[in-house]
Amino acid sequence: MRIGLALGYHGEPMTEILPLVEHADRIGVDSVWSVEEYGADGVSVLAYLAARTERIKLGTGILQLAGRTPANTAMTALTLDILSEGRLLLGLGVSVPWIVEGWHGVPYGKPLARTREYVEILRKAIRADERVTHDGEHYRLPYHGPGSTGRARPVKVLLNPVRTTIPTYLAGIGPGMVRLAGEIADGWLPGFYSPEREKVITAPLDEGLKRAGRDPGEVDIVVITHAARTRDLDRARDELRPLYAAYLGPDVPGVRNTYFDLARAIGFEAEAETVRAHHREGHRAEAIAAVPDALLDEVALLGPLPRIIDRLAAWKESRVGTLALITRDQALLEAVVTA
């Protein structure tokens, strides 16, 4: 199992991030992952880090499909791969309806069909060996529909790629998207993961692998999770509870909460129902308090250093290829890499 490093959503000052990433590069951390929601974008920081590092892989975790056309993502990926001399790992995801529609101003629509088309176009463009055409439900290249000039022609990217294939990871937690990752992706970025309960979590992935006639080793699993070295385990848990309450609690009509579904499926049914009930009633503090210790202990690395190192054993025995830690603790990062 490889160890990675994950950055934050809020665009931390480069004076804080750069020394950490440079240290990670020196000590053998395999990859550093940007994140993207509606704050810092997932590209700019990686372009900067590409110039300041030598060997660490650079992962986007994740670029939101709604904010970019497939061609734009292809150009971005090829450019980052050139700047980093072939170190890019391209993570993609559909995001969630309230960001897609509230921030990007486009319909959420049919994410599975759109993602399948998106990846197909993306890979054609990255190969850079022919003009790209596509005639699908969601994307048509060239476009000749309403409002077009009628003069469009297929286009081939104007770059000399370092690689004509770039590892493409799909983020997803709902069974449909996880199955799709098993069918078409080079890697999968799950929403949260428990090594003890991975048979349930990876079941849709295995369905997709079987459907496509692929072996499990063809899809790299990258888990991004929190890590905190502390003597006060209860405080570390309490700092994570609001995040997981926000995952499990929302119950919006017409929108499936796949985090809630997964928590129930892996054995936290009663606890998830309790969090949701408090959330529905507007009792935020009670919803946060109802997030169980056992869930947090399984999905994150928390507590004194010996406890964290002991906990790594379960992750090392799992199918996870890379465990990317959300931490700013250089000593913790070094100890985990050594272990």
Q: What pLDDT score does 271 carry? A: 98
| DSSP-based three-state secondary structure for 1 | coil
pLDDT tens-place string over residues 71-123: 999 999 999 999 999 999 999 999 988 899 999 999 999 999 999 999 999 99
pLDDT tens-place string over residues 277-325: 999 999 999 999 999 999 999 999 999 999 999 999 999 999 999 999 9
pLDDT tens-place string over residues 256-282: 999 999 999 999 999 999 999 999 999
Helix axes 330-338, 305-316, angle to 10 degrees: 40
Distance CA 242, CA 199 (A): 27
Q: What pLDDT score does 98 carry? A: 87
Residue 10: pLDDT over 80: no
DSSP secondary-structure letter at 132?
Answer: B
CA distances to 4, 6, 15, 228 from 225, in Å: 10, 8, 23, 10
CB 298 within 8 A of CB 197: yes
Mention every residue, 6+ apart, whose C-beta is less than 8 A from residue 269.
263
CA distances to 19, 305, 307 from 230, in Å: 22, 7, 10
Distance CA 213, CA 225 (A): 30
Average of per-residue pLDDT across 131-157:
96
CB 212 within 8 A of CB 184: yes
CA atoms within 13 A on the CB side of 125: 23
Q: What is the value of pTM for the model shown?
A: 0.96
The closest alpha carbon to 13, from 230, 328, 323, belongs to 328
pLDDT tens-place string over residues 156-208: 999 999 999 999 999 999 999 999 999 999 999 999 999 999 999 999 999 99
Please name the amino acid found at residue 20. Answer: L
Q: What pLDDT score does 262 carry? A: 97
Hey, CA dihedral for 116, 117, 118, 119, is it positive or negative?
Answer: positive
